[in-house]
Structure 1
Amino acid sequence: MPAADTGGAQVKSAVRTVELLEYFAGRPGMHSLASVQEAIGYPKSSLYMLLRTLVDLGWVETDATGTRYGIGVRALLVGTSYIDGDEVVAAARPTLDRLSDDTTETIHLARLDGTDVVYLATRQSPHHLRPFARVGRRLPAHATSLGKALLATYTDEQVRAMLPPTLAPLTEHTHTDREQLIEELRTVREQGYAVDREEHTLGLRCFGVAIPYRTPARDAISCSVPVARLTAGHEQMIKEALFEARERLTLAGRRL
């Protein structure tokens, strides 16, 4: 969708640049000029010039033919600097390490960004059967335990303002009705944790808690476990470990 005219050519150009980079960030791989133009709607001639400028600066890469484009290495450098400079991520490292050791499962720290959660840190499970995870991954909040734990720190009316009535499914178990999700968020508030019951990935169950060092919360932690390895005793231990980690991270966050 074309950028809105914000009253000046320089500002409009900056908005278009950011929108173009976000387009590539959300769609891995290489894309033709025609497919990019169709998706974001900029005039083809100005889009081509913008792409060539970003290629020259290292923000966008092109293939050997010079006709397909993707995100460039400079975007990685900026993303890495965000993680490296974030005080919450730095303060959370010992707690994430301990949580990983205690549960022997995959651990995530994520931040709410609009209606998505973005992974800020992960600790991989030592088990052979484990979920794929990477820093910078973006997922819809309504389909993750991290996101539901964070959405539960908002009021029902705030959630209605944030999310559309119909939600996109990722699996057959994903909530697609906003009101059903809101009903579950009430349960999340009561019990203090959220559960992703194969709503993002089939065969995977995740438990998440928000870190309430600010209200509404913006950060959360989760533990992901293959359903095949999850027992009632293991689940209880994971919840208790998450509650303990939440207390440590809440105290650390309030000191920042």
Structure 2
Amino acid sequence: MDVVAPRPPRNTANLLRILTYMASQAAPVSAQSIAIELTIPRSTVYELLGVLCEYGYAVALRPARRYALGARAFELSSAYSRQEPLARLSKVMLRRFVDRVGEAPHLAILQGSDVIYVAEERAPRRAPLVTEEGVRLPAYQTASGRAIMAWLPKEQVRAMIPRNQELPSRVAGRSPASFAALVRDLQEIRKCGYAIEVEEVTEGLASVVVPVFDLNDWPQAAFGVTFEIDRHPDVKQMVADVLPDIQRFAAELERRLGAQTSGGSRLGRPGASHRI
């Protein structure tokens, strides 16, 4: 006799349907559009959106009256990417990057308010770096974290770092010291398309990083390189030299992961008005 699996409670099923629908959209959505597309009563939609917001899987964008995926939803996506395709695909690419550029590349993802380095390839005759696999650091202190945060909704960044919270630096005076300073940094990153940090994480080291987007135009990771300032004292020139290779490799990783993007600057993409 076949055993028939019980159907999930209606609200549980609708909760998952709403989450799936939001993940498929390129921009934040209204409760009304959810109700129409999924044929769920609007009162139920508001109730379930409230649950998603309470647990961090959605963020209410006011006064736009729209909803975007929250940090917890991104963590689920990041966890999947970290377990298989992202780290696995990037490993081969990181080795190729070292062969081409001669510096240490790394790949990082956002988890909560921290950034976690999921893949790193050490350059020949270089000392170990803080970007080794598994290392976790506050996102705002790192170029990798800020490269991702610059493309997140403002409300999500506020949830990660409350406005009245002072931001301690890993190296005194180097990282943004306040929420306002961080927002200015993130806005500049969105304009130029990449993030830089100079001796904010480790004295004597600098990094340049670009975001890696998924097929929903969400910043799922950050790809970049860390180099020794003693070897490259003209940091601006080093950034100019290595940035084209970083952008090409990030675009290739996006294509391999299925993102329909062309790399480079993400200005003007869907939903940009709701972001930092």
Q: What range is the shorter-chain TM-score in?
A: 0.5 to 0.7
Fraction of identical pairs, as percent: 27
In structure 2, the partner of 1:31 is none
Aligned counterpart in structure 2 of residue 136 of structure 1, from 134, 148, 162 = 134
Q: How high is the TM-score relative to the length of structure 2?
A: 0.59
The alignment partner of 2:226 has SS state of strand
Q: Is the 8 A contact 1:131 1:226 kept in 2?
A: no
Name the Cα RMSD after superposition: 2.3
In structure 2, the partner of 1:227 is 229
In structure 1, the partner of 2:197 is 196
**Cα displacement (A) at 1:107:** 1.1
Matched, 1:249 2:253: yes
Deviation string 1:172-231 (CA, Å, 9 cap, x unpaired) is 211121111111111111111001121111111101111012443121112001111223
The alignment partner of 1:168 has SS state of coil
Q: Is the 8 A contact 1:104 1:127 kept in 2?
A: no
Matched, 1:170 2:170: yes
Q: How high is the TM-score relative to the length of structure 1?
A: 0.63
**Cα displacement (A) at 1:127:** 3.4
**CA distance in 2 between partners of 1:167 and 1:132 (Å):** 20
**CA distance in 2 between partners of 1:103 and 1:127 (Å):** 14
Q: Is the 8 A contact 1:129 1:226 kept in 2?
A: no
In structure 2, the partner of 1:115 is 113
**Residues 76-87 of structure 1 mapped to structure 2, 5 A cutoff:** 85-87=83-85
Q: Is the 8 A contact 1:110 1:118 kept in 2?
A: yes
Q: Which of the two has greater helix per residue?
A: 1
**Residues 13-32 of structure 1 mapped to structure 2, 5 A cutoff:** none
The alignment partner of 1:254 has SS state of coil
Distance change >3 Å, CA 88–CA 128, structure 1 → 2 = closer
In structure 2, the partner of 1:96 is 94
Distance change >3 Å, CA 151–CA 133, structure 1 → 2 = closer
Aligned counterpart in structure 1 of residue 240 of structure 2, from 224, 229, 236 = 236
In structure 2, the partner of 1:182 is 183
Q: Is the 8 A contact 2:82 2:118 kept in 1?
A: no
Q: Is the 8 A contact 2:197 2:207 kept in 1?
A: yes
**CA distance in 1 between partners of 2:206 and 2:139 (Å):** 15
**CA distance in 1 between partners of 2:124 and 2:82 (Å):** 25
**Cα displacement (A) at 1:92:** 1.6
**CA distance in 2 between partners of 1:182 and 1:161 (Å):** 13
Match of 1:97, as an amino acid? R
Corresponding pairs, count: 176
Structure 2 unaligned blocks of 5 or more: 1-79, 260-276
**CA distance in 1 between partners of 2:83 and 2:110 (Å):** 18
- 105-114 or 90-99, which deviates more: 90-99
Q: Is the 8 A contact 1:106 1:130 kept in 2?
A: no
